[in-house]
């Protein structure tokens, strides 16, 4: 059986989310614990360095190192593979990278934020390495003209919402609409707001967050992406196109409008928490959009001149994550 390994993960909340990502794909999860996680989890499954590097199956490192293969193109590993994700700040340690049979990365076309939460990255990697067979072909070479709008529908936890917004920015979305009926993002108490913005990496995140109000963003078609819906798996559904809105509900408290299409977040195990499902949906939409050709790259920006562009046309009740915060970065 394949397994998920967290290498040097230090945040207990991330460790718990990693274990949940493993349960989504019905694989065990262990940790090479160099950061004292065992003190928070008495029953933590651990693996020492000798056992990890001497694994019978191949080591697959998930890290954005130079030369890493896109996870979208990676072939499924042989049975018994150890799929390794690293420390939140330092990544995977060099001894594992040297021993890895393959290193894969999750392409990050966004500006500012260029990494996912470690548990979200693990869920995305497991989805493509273990489960997403028979995928649709991407739309390249002009992905931006087909980028769908995204609605986060009734997220129930502020940290899960923040982490989902971080993923949207990393996958290249300039704006996301939030149906905040549970009051986890707009008008929250200061401590809740601080935790949510930290999860969203707001200090590096130029994403525009727009309240939904009583209506969806303008749409020609609505695609509801959730675990328990009657529709094709995500990677076989069309998630792109001008005038498309991808709706990612948290639970069953959001009613789809008449005529909506459905795409199933199909995983072999548990449905998983909101940030993990959202990360998979956004990754698949980004994969279907395709990668911009190198010759079509946007011209380099100078300084922080793009700040005025983000402010242009922002609705008065929108929550703008200010780019001036980048000055300190």
Residue 11 Cα to chain centre, angstroms? 18
Q: Which residue has the higher pLDDT, 141 or 281?
A: 281
Cβ neighbours of residue 322 under 8 Å, at least 6 residues apart? 307
3-class SS at 247? Answer: strand
Q: Is domain 143-295 in CATH 3.40.1280.10, yes or no? A: yes
Residues forming beta bridges with residue 149, ordered by sequence position = 245
pLDDT confidence bin for 214, thresholds 50/70/90: low
Q: Has residue 139 got a pLDDT over 80?
A: no
Cβ neighbours of residue 90 under 8 Å, at least 6 residues apart? 8
Record: fold of 3-105: Alpha/beta knot (3.40.1280)
Gap between the terminal Cα atoms of the chain:
42
Torsion of CA 280, 285, 288, 294, to 10 degrees: -100
- Average confidence (pLDDT) over 42-54: 94
What is the rounded CA–CA span in Å between residue 311 and residue 284? 29
Q: Which residue has the higher pLDDT, 18 or 42?
A: 18
pTM score, whole prediction: 0.86
Q: What pLDDT does residue 310 have? A: 40
SS3 content of the chain, % helix, strand, coil (to 5): 30, 20, 50
Q: What pLDDT does residue 141 have? A: 64
Q: Has residue 304 got a pLDDT over 80?
A: no
What is the rounded CA–CA span in Å between residue 28 and residue 45? 9
Query: Percent of the chain scored above 70 by pLDDT?
Result: 85
Q: Has residue 91 got a pLDDT over 60?
A: yes
Crossing angle of helices 118-126 and 12-24, rounded to 10°: 10
Q: What pLDDT does residue 215 have? A: 64
pLDDT confidence bin for 319, thresholds 50/70/90: low
Q: Has residue 312 got a pLDDT over 80?
A: no
- In 3D space, the residue among 109, 45, 93 whose CA is nearest the CA of residue 290 turns out to be 109
Q: Has residue 98 got a pLDDT over 50?
A: yes
As annotated, the residues of the chain forming the CATH 3.40.1280.10 domain(s) are 3-105, 143-295
- Average confidence (pLDDT) over 250-274: 91
Query: Percent of the chain scored above 90 by pLDDT?
Result: 71
Q: What pLDDT does residue 135 have? A: 77
What is the rounded CA–CA span in Å between residue 279 and residue 119? 10
258 exposed, middle or buried (CB, 10 Å; 0-12, 13-18, 19+)? exposed
What is the rounded CA–CA span in Å between residue 269 and residue 239? 23
Q: What pLDDT does residue 23 have? A: 97
In eight-state DSSP terms, residue 328 is G
Q: Which residue has the higher pLDDT, 298 or 148?
A: 148
3-class SS at 209? Answer: strand
Q: Look up residue 293 and give its two tokens.
A: 């050709």
Q: What pLDDT does residue 155 have? A: 96
Q: Has residue 204 got a pLDDT over 90?
A: no
pLDDT confidence bin for 297, thresholds 50/70/90: very low
């Amino acid at each position: 059986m394949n397994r998920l390994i967290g290498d040097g993960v230090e945040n207990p909340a991330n460790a718990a989310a990693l274990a949940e990502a493993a349960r989504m794909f019905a694989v065990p999860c262990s940790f090479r614990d160099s950061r004292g996680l065992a003190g928070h989890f008495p029953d933590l499954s651990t693996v020492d360095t000798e056992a990890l590097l001497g694994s019978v199956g191949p080591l697959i490192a998930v890290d954005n190192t130079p030369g890493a293969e896109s996870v979208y193109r990676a072939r499924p590993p042989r049975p018994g593979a150890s799929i390794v994700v690293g420390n939140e700040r330092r990544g995977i340690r060099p001894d594992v990278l040297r021993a890895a049979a393959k290193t894969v990365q999750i392409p990050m076309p966004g500006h500012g934020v260029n990494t996912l939460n470690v548990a979200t990255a693990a869920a995305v990697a497991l989805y493509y390495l273990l489960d997403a067979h028979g995928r649709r072909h991407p739309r390249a070479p002009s992905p931006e003209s087909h980028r769908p709008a995204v609605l986060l529908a009734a997220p129930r936890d502020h940290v899960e919402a923040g982490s989902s917004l971080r993923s949207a920015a990393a996958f290249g979305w300039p704006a996301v609409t939030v149906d905040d009926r549970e009051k986890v993002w707009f008008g929250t108490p200061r401590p809740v707001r601080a935790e949510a913005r930290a999860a969203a990496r707001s200090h590096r995140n130029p994403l525009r967050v727009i309240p939904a109000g009583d209506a969806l963003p303008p749409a020609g078609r609505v695609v509801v992406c959730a675990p328990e819906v009657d529709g094709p798996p995500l990677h076989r559904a069309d998630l792109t196109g001008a005038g498309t809105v991808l709706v990612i509900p948290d639970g069953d408290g959001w009613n789809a409008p008449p005529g909506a299409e459905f795409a199933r977040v199909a995983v072999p195990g548990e449905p998983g928490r909101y940030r993990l499902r959202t990360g998979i949906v956004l990754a698949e939409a980004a994969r279907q959009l395709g990668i911009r050709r190198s010759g079509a790259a946007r011209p380099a920006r100078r300084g922080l001149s793009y700040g005025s562009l983000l402010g242009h046309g922002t609705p008065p009740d929108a929550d703008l994550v200010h780019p001036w915060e980048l000055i300190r970065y």
